Chains A and B, each alone.
Chain A
Amino acid sequence: MDKAEQKTGLFSVATALFVRDIRLAARRSTDVFNPLVFFVIVVSLFPLGVGPEPNQLQLMAPGVIWVAALLATMISLDRLFSHDFETGSLEQIVLAPQPLTLIIFAKIAAHWTLTGLPLVILMPLVAMQMNMTTDMIYISFLTLIIGTPILSLIGAIGAALTIGLRGGGVLVSLLVLPLYTPVLIFGAGAISASAQGFSPDAHLSLLGAFLALSLTFAPLAAAAAVRVSLD
């Protein structure tokens, strides 16, 4: 096999895995919908808890939406590896003659497509509940589209470390939520800043930098974690 052929080989393996994960999710659609419904419910609970005063809701909105996005992503992480582990597919994936980092990256991409992306699309709906202005919604859209991939990337590390463990779901939150703090701060900060009339650019750039860092290291760490978990 020459170099060029090998490269297309790598790409086709990643695509095959991506397509398979999307197809699997389509046939187990509750797995995909539950975190989204969870997201909407969590946001809807806040006005019930703190009162429907529009200005107060608007003030809290960035934080509420981001915390809800964090939690929704977290409960979806279980799906990333657990089915593959239980059926033995994960062994086969690890034994494939391809770089595991690339394969894991394809899985993370599929996870984001099924969790992060729908959250971004769903956000305007709950944003209106929280009395957000159009400008705020626009900035929220930007932060979520940069931020949610980070959630999938870092989350994959936690999911990989807890493969096959009892109580893995709660454990994952313990491992992953502290690591999510910068995303929460930059993401919610950008929306608040723009709502107060400041430029959100600094926040967005920092969020982007964090995304670049996670893109580089998270698939590596997750791949290492998968190997350790199957050992």
Chain B
Amino acid sequence: MLEITNLSCVRGDKPLIEGLSFDVSEGQLLHITGRNGAGKTTLLRCLCGLSSPAAGQISWLGQNIDTNKDAYHAQMAYVGHLNGHQGELTAVENLDFARALGGAHTEITVTDTLKKLGLYNSRLLPTKFLSQGQQRRLALARLLVQERKLWIMDEPFVALDTESTTLLEGIVSDHIKNGGLAILTSHHALNLTQSRQLNIDRG
């Protein structure tokens, strides 16, 4: 599904990743590891189409993602370092907006998602009053309401407690079982049987 051939990424004028190739297909989870500064975030931003690679190809369903970015983005969800919601809006408003941005109608309701992630009781608070962990869970709730095939997650476990970590692992595992794809970076070892590791440290 997602094929990366000979990818090179730079930050500034400094090459971080050179000649990287791999692919991820349906029902697979890719765990990207590497030292600090190895370029994990840069790589993920290239994969989701925020940054443009210095060289190489990223193709989704055999087509370069640059040729039809909107079609690619309709099947891809990204959770970055930043949670991506506005502190002045409530959890419900943030998720509603995320869904509206997606454009397509999705099956799962915001209420169900919030219940699943244990945010239902604080759904009407402006999100700036939520704890770090709750805010992170809200960012992950976006993955569920958007219903995309490919999940790209940058350190999704940061700020999550043990319980939430298990919950997220379960969610990712379900996504994979249903034929989804996931790419994530994490310093933790994952409790997921389907995971495949890719180390991007050089030399």
| Residue of B whose beta carbon sits closest to that of A84 | B86
Which residues of A1-24 are within 8 A (CB) of B? Answer: 1, 9-10, 12-13, 16-17, 20, 23-24
Q: Is B81 an interface residue when CB atoms closer than 8 A count as contact?
A: yes
Q: How large is the interface on B (under 10, 10 to 19, 20 to 34, 35 or more residues)?
A: 20 to 34
Q: How far is the CB of A88 from chain B (nearest CB, A)?
A: 3
Tell me the smallest distance from the CB of B26 to a CB of chain A, in Å: 20
Q: With an 8 A cutoff between CB atoms, is A216 at the interface?
A: no
A-B pairs with CB below 8 Å: how many?
85
Say whether B81 contacts A88, CB under 8 Å.
yes
A153 to B97, CA, bound (A): 24
User: Would B102 and A96 count as touching, CB distance under 8 A?
Assistant: yes
Q: Is the CB of B82 within 8 A of A27?
A: no
Q: Does B124 contact A (CB under 8 A)?
A: no
Chain A's closest residue to B142 (CB) is: A92
B50/A13 in contact, CB under 8 A: no
- Whether a CB of chain B sits under 8 angstroms from the CB of A53 is no
A65-83: which have CB < 8 Å to B?
A: 83
Cβ B73 vs Cβ A87 within 8 A: no
List 17 A–B pairs whose Cβ atoms lie within 8 Å, in order of A's numbering: A9-B103, A13-B103, A17-B97, A24-B88, A28-B88, A88-B80, A88-B83, A91-B50, A92-B101, A95-B49, A95-B73, A96-B102, A97-B72, A97-B74, A98-B70, A98-B101, A98-B103
> Which A residue sits closest to B96, measured CB to CB?
A16
Are the CB atoms of B78 and A95 closer together than 8 Å? yes
Min Cβ gap A66→B in Å is 33
B-side residues, CB < 8 A to A, are: 48-52, 70-74, 76, 78, 80-89, 93, 96-98, 100-104, 126, 142
Are B82 and A87 in contact (CB-based, < 8 A)?
yes
Q: Does any Cβ of B come within 8 Å of A230's Cβ?
A: yes
- Interface size of A by CB at 8 A reads 29
Q: Which residues of A contact B98 (CB under 8 A)?
A: 92
Known: A20-B93, A92-B101, A93-B101. 6 other contacts (CB 8 A): A13-B101, A27-B88, A27-B89, A91-B50, A92-B142, A94-B50
- Residue ID in chain B nearest A26 by CB atoms: B88
Instruction: Give chain A residues whose Cβ lies under 8 Å from the Cβ of B83.
Output: 87-88
In angstroms, Cα B87 to Cα A86, docked, is: 11
Q: Which of A13, A87, A99 contacts B100 (CB 8 A)?
A: A13
Contact B84 A88 (CB under 8 A): yes
Say how far A223's CB is from chain B's closest CB, in angstroms: 12
Residue of A10, A89, A96, A231 touching B86 (CB-CB under 8 A): A89
